[in-house]
Amino acid sequence: MLEAAKFISRNMIKFLVLVILIGICIGYYFPALGPSIQPLVPFSLFFMLYPMMIGIKIEEVGNAARRWKLLGVSMIFNYLVSPLLGAVLATLFLSPYPEFAVGLILTAAVPCGGMVVAWTGMAKGNMPMAVVITAVSLLSGIALIPAWMTLLAGKYVAVNPLGMLKTIFIVIVIPLFLGNVTRKQLLKKMGSEKFMQLKPVFPAVSALGMYTVFFISMTAEARHLIQHPEYLAIIAVPLVIFYLLVFSGSVLYAKVSGMEYADMIALTFGVGGKNISIALALALLFFGPLTVMIIAIKPLIQVMFMAGFYRLSPRLQKVWHLKEAVSSG
């Protein structure tokens, strides 16, 4: 099971692309299938979110008081800079396509996802801080996501802030609570060492839920996408610009402010690694098919930037350590 989980995690984006292509092909030839299996979406969403939450320690939020400056900066980037940047790019590039504009704003307004901690660890960043950023961002998103969507996306489509608030509470708090209970029980029964060995299984199980949701979405929107292939270019351009500015802006701020390398990694992944699951859930439940389409393309571009930043991290580490050595000398 562990080897299968690692295989899924290593090839997550390849599998996602395959699922999207299969969903489009099946949906095109069997257009009635997508709507008929859409009632399975809530179960798939829970199957996607619950395993991801097992790795998040709610009690770590209390430790944030020790690093309130870094946490504050991450919150400003996540819930002020990012949504406003998404809204500006939506106005510049997507005004003729209101549902695409909403999708870009939704991409920018959601918090970071659970994979941020794993990416931070691989790049030798501050993992405890990444956990705190993830947990605090998730909890803050219960109120802030509906507020930003109402303010920024309301000019494009009708937004139901109360319904969204209720849904986000269910989508975040219930899986987070159950995940925390599960984690404590597993630690109690298995011990810390065996739990850490089992931990890679959770993102893989979450990925299976994500694949199911994307398959359902793509089968429902297949004909729309095939009839309008130009939509891919229309979606991709503002998304690439958004992630380029988010990642480069985080690194630039960290350098100018004198932030340590490990904290810079946690901040950058914590700002750039947007929560695909929550964005997809809200797009499916509250917005139109074209909004779902931009969320379906988003993970391909996001992971491209996250993987690129990870590969760049050894060079950044040398630059940061050189700078620290010069400063101390």
pLDDT-wise least confident of 70-74, 157-161, 173-177: 173-177
Would the pLDDT of 94 be above 60?
Answer: yes
Token pair of 183 as six digits? 């984690």
DSSP3 helix / strand / coil % (the chain, rounded to 5): 85, 0, 10
Predicted pLDDT of residue 9:
67
- Which tens digit of pLDDT belongs to each residue from 109-160? 998 876 787 788 778 888 778 888 888 888 889 899 999 999 999 999 999 9
**Distance spanning both ends of the chain, measured CA to CA:** 50
Maximum separation of any 2 CA atoms in the chain, in Å: 69
- Which tens digit of pLDDT belongs to each residue from 3-20? 776 677 677 767 878 888
Look up the pTM and report it.
0.81
Token pair of 193 as six digits? 């060492």
Q: How confident is the model at residue 324 (pLDDT cuts 50, 70, 90)?
A: low
Predicted pLDDT of residue 122:
78
Would the pLDDT of 248 be above 80?
Answer: yes
Task: Give the three-class secondary structure for 274.
Answer: strand
Of residues 250, 240, 227, the one with CA closest to residue 294: 240
The per-residue b/e assignment along 61-95, b for 16 or more CB within 10 angstroms, e otherwise, is: beebeebeebbebbbebbbebbbebbbbbbbebbe
The per-residue b/e assignment along 264-291, b for 16 or more CB within 10 angstroms, e otherwise, is: bbbbbbbbbbbbbbbbbbbbbebbeebb
Predicted pLDDT of residue 64:
54
**Residue 161 contacts by C-beta under 8 Å, 6 or more apart in sequence?**
146, 147, 149, 150
- Domains of the chain by start residue, with CATH: 2-8+41-328 (1.20.1530.20)
Average pLDDT over residues 33-50: 77
Whole-number Å distance between alpha carbons of 44 and 159? 24
What is the chain's alpha carbon radius of gyration, rounded to the nearest angstrom?
A: 19
Vertex 242 angle, CA 239 and 244, to 5°: 110
Predicted pLDDT of residue 237:
95
Whole-number Å distance between alpha carbons of 261 and 263? 5
- Which tens digit of pLDDT belongs to each residue from 16-32? 788 888 988 998 899 88
